[in-house]
Structure 1
Amino acid sequence: MTPTAPTIRIPASDGSGSFDAYLALPPSGHGPGIVLAQEIFGVNATMRAVADHYAEEGYVVLVPDLFWRQQPGIQLGYTEADFQRAFGLYQGFNETLGVADIQASLNALRERPECSGQAGVLGFCLGGKLAYLAACHTDADVAVGYYGVGIEKALDDAQGLRGRLVLHIAENDAFCPPEARAAILAALSGREQTELYVYPGVDHAFARQGGDHFHKPSALMAHQRSVAAFKAAMGPHPDFSALWDKHCEHEFATRDVAATMATMVAEPYVNHIPTMTGGVGHTMLSRFYQHHFVNSNPPDTTLVPISRTIGATQIVDELLFCFTHTCEIDWMLPGIAPTGKRVEIPLVAIVKFRGDKLYHEHIYWDQASVLVQIGKLDPTGLPVAGIETARKLLDEHQPSNTLMAAWALSAP
């Protein structure tokens, strides 16, 4: 552990000593618990960053030093020399004692005033197998394992499975070759509260940000599934709908930039996909909101909700975005002088949360339809439409297939 890292001391259950554990607390100061089981590289900066991330999701996270019986305080990088040293520690690691240390960590976590009582296990690499073993041999409420090494050698332990189990498996993982993966899937598929996900075309450590095998799409999907599992088993369950409504109120009604930013995590981002406008991080996004969004929307701007889907980590809003183009709208129509034209456009907002704060917004709309409606794009001969797209969203009986010349040829 680094000298300034927040750590606690945990007594081993066998009376052989005690070990350090890194502690990460959520912004609220309390929540369900997660014991994070390390990779073979120790409780290094990567593991602490993962802990901090899950703390922002609303969890009290404890990362025990599972190599303490061999050498306390191991923190390795990812060079070839580090890997050789880490592999040596892995070969000398006693999994039975490791699982006992995870149970001791669960006990210590549940006893802390910050923890709401329920606690799960999350693990990567070596920790991925330990998460599986914890699901079989500890009282963890839920266990999530990423690319666990050697699970196929412990499938008999599955008779002790309790609680929810999620395993993320990399298709190209040399440490879990096809025959091992097939054995895991055959033994564990179809079990109640067990979820198995194979990520095609990715390698071991695909979720380690900055690593050689990092694959962002798979890492994002796996993270969403992991948080969903933790929330289903333990919570927390913030009111995403109310949080998003409050955020939109500050954006479009009160037009208060500081209040808007207060609904978001410390380093959020916004991406308006068609125009690539928005901002990444507090400083850039505050600037964007202040000078190019909150005070740059026409006075008659209205949002007409059509549907809302609320998931474990995000909201998907379908709505109509309506306005009269009486001012330059930097984020949607940058560089286009006001035309005075009326615009009604279907819009989809995918809003991701961490804990009880917004983390990011991905906003989608049909830019061609906007340009048609303000008279900047001639739709003649092009497969694009104007305000008709909004009207058909409200009334599905409006004509279909009007852009398809071949439609008339298929008539019976």
Structure 2
Amino acid sequence: MSMSIEIQAADGSGSFGGYLAIPASGSGPGIVLLQEIFGINATIREIADYYAEEGYVVLAPDLFWRQEVGVELDYTPEDWQRAFGFYQGFDQDRGIEDIAAAIAALRSRPECSGQVGALGFCLGARMAYLTACRCDVDVAVGYYGMGIEHHLDEAENIRGRLVLHFAENDEYCPAAARQDIQASLEGRDHVELYLYPGVDHAFARPGSEHYHKPSALMAHQRSVAAFRKAVGPRYDLSALWDKHCEYEFSTRNVDDTMATMVAEPYVNHIPTLTGGVGYRDLYRFYRHHFVDSNPADTRLIPISRTIGETQIVDELLFCFTHDREVDWLLPGIAPTGKYVEIPLVAIVKFRGDKLYHEHIYWDQASVLVQIGVIDPAGLPVAGHATAAKLLDETLPSNELMAKWAESAER
């Protein structure tokens, strides 16, 4: 749910607008989202909605209201010129006062649990840093901020967690500026500084000519982890994943399985390129090619589980008898009746308390060896031995390496 609200300025000069996004749960910790130089445009609203899906009550205040109410620019050359004009006319100190008013307004809302952080991009990243220095926030996160190096004398005032993301090729925050920031902030408790090699300003904005998805994903994970640690919300990801697997492999209920996921999830089985992107295709995949297609004796044997702030990594054995065509794993291969055990790794990403995606990995060559489709003789592949050695690390190593014996006396 989203809406526009009015925020009273602390200096009595009037009120200004803000875009408010509320999570599906109806409540959560707060984030004040601080704009780029383009105002509260579609990009900022999408980021607000994105973090609301992560479980936050997000308020994006109109920081340019003292120059012009409701600035909402695109990324055309003409709008770039207008944006720089607003940037040059921006009163930073008044802006911080307005951010403090937005924080107070957010804390006063019934949807907000009380704890509040700040998140900013470009100009907003500098303002997020200054918010950490001058305002009462529990955490502040900034992406490719410019001008932070001119305010490092205020760093002593930071009381909460601070996370700053920098782009290596960013002309607005060049290497010399980053070195000053690093020299001042690195080593401080609760401060995290990240540099993303080979990327430029706005690397996290979809549609930007500098958008770099791997860096954007990594930065987002680090940002949400910082918010989780500082203000919550905290979810039992392990229990959520176990329930999802129960619906997939035990009760085999597609609707219940999909109910554990976000509105538009995806699943990617890396070795076979099977799965689905978006609710419609994933539902189709689960219904006709996965949930009811797995052999009756399918078992998942857990080996290890790593639980982060936003995702789970599961290491397990996937065991079954190949008594039917298993579309997602062995598409087009008729049942062989062979029993198979394969080491499998699942990286499961969450948004809030819902699964967002699954990346599933296994050694397809091991599967093909075990069902007799591949003869391993002379090839650097193994069959059931891969599962056996996962359970018993003392089993022989390096038997596929012909030169292993030669190094014994070296």
Query: What residue in structure 2 maps to residue 94 of structure 1?
Result: 91
Query: What residue in structure 2 maps to residue 103 of structure 1?
Result: 100
Query: What residue in structure 2 maps to residue 404 of structure 1?
Result: 401
CA displacement 1:264-293 (0-9 Å, x = unmatched): 000100000001100111111000000010
Query: What residue in structure 1 maps to residue 197 of structure 2?
Result: 200
Where do residues 158-237 of structure 1 align in structure 2 (5 Å cutoff)?
A: 158-237=155-234
Q: Which amino acid aligns with 1:139?
A: D
Query: What residue in structure 2 maps to residue 239 of structure 1?
Result: 236
Query: What residue in structure 1 maps to residue 324 of structure 2?
Result: 327
Report the TM-score when normalising by structure 1: 0.98
CA displacement 1:13-60 (0-9 Å, x = unmatched): 111111110010111011000000000000000000000000000000
Which whole-Å CA distance do the structure 2 matches of 1:411 and 1:173 have between them? 51
CA displacement 1:290-344 (0-9 Å, x = unmatched): 0010011000000000000000100000000000000111111111111111110
Query: What residue in structure 1 maps to residue 275 of structure 2?
Result: 278
Which segments of 5 or more consecutive residues in structure 2 lack a partner in the other structure? none
Which whole-Å CA distance do the structure 1 matches of 2:405 and 2:156 have between them? 62
Report the TM-score when normalising by structure 2: 0.99
Q: Using the TM superposition, give the Cα deviation of residue 380 of structure 1 relative to its aligned residue in structure 2, in angstroms.
A: 1.1
- SS of structure 2 residue aligned to 1:123: strand
How many residues align structurally? 409
- SS of structure 2 residue aligned to 1:6: strand
Query: What residue in structure 2 maps to residue 290 of structure 1?
Result: 287
1:43 equivalent among 40, 43, 46? 40
CA displacement 1:157-197 (0-9 Å, x = unmatched): 11211100000011100001111111111111111111100
Which whole-Å CA distance do the structure 2 matches of 1:5 and 1:342 have between them? 52
Extract structure 1 runs of 4+ deviating beyond 3 A.
none
2:259 equivalent among 255, 258, 262? 262
Which whole-Å CA distance do the structure 2 matches of 1:25 and 1:283 have between them? 25
Query: What residue in structure 1 maps to residue 375 of structure 2?
Result: 378
Q: Which amino acid aligns with 1:393?
A: L
Instruction: Check conservation: 2:186, 2:192, Cα contact below 8 A.
Output: yes
CA displacement 1:221-240 (0-9 Å, x = unmatched): 10000000000000111100
Where do residues 299-318 of structure 1 align in structure 2 (5 Å cutoff)?
A: 299-318=296-315
Identity of aligned residues (%): 73
- SS of structure 1 residue aligned to 2:271: coil
Instruction: Check conservation: 2:38, 2:83, Cα contact below 8 A.
Output: yes
Q: Which amino acid aligns with 1:69?
A: R
1:369 equivalent among 366, 371, 376? 366
Q: Using the TM superposition, give the Cα deviation of residue 5 of structure 1 relative to its aligned residue in structure 2, in angstroms.
A: 6.2
Q: Which amino acid aligns with 1:220?
A: L
Query: What residue in structure 2 maps to residue 119 of structure 1?
Result: 116
Q: Which amino acid aligns with 2:67?
A: Q
1:52 equivalent among 39, 42, 49? 49
Instruction: Check conservation: 2:131, 2:140, Cα contact below 8 A.
Output: yes
Instruction: Check conservation: 2:2, 2:21, Cα contact below 8 A.
Output: no
Where do residues 29-40 of structure 1 align in structure 2 (5 Å cutoff)?
A: 29-40=26-37
- SS of structure 2 residue aligned to 1:326: coil
Which whole-Å CA distance do the structure 2 matches of 1:397 and 1:32 have between them? 48
The alpha-carbon distance between structure 1 residues 321 and 5, as it changes in their structure 2 partners (threshold 3 A), is closer
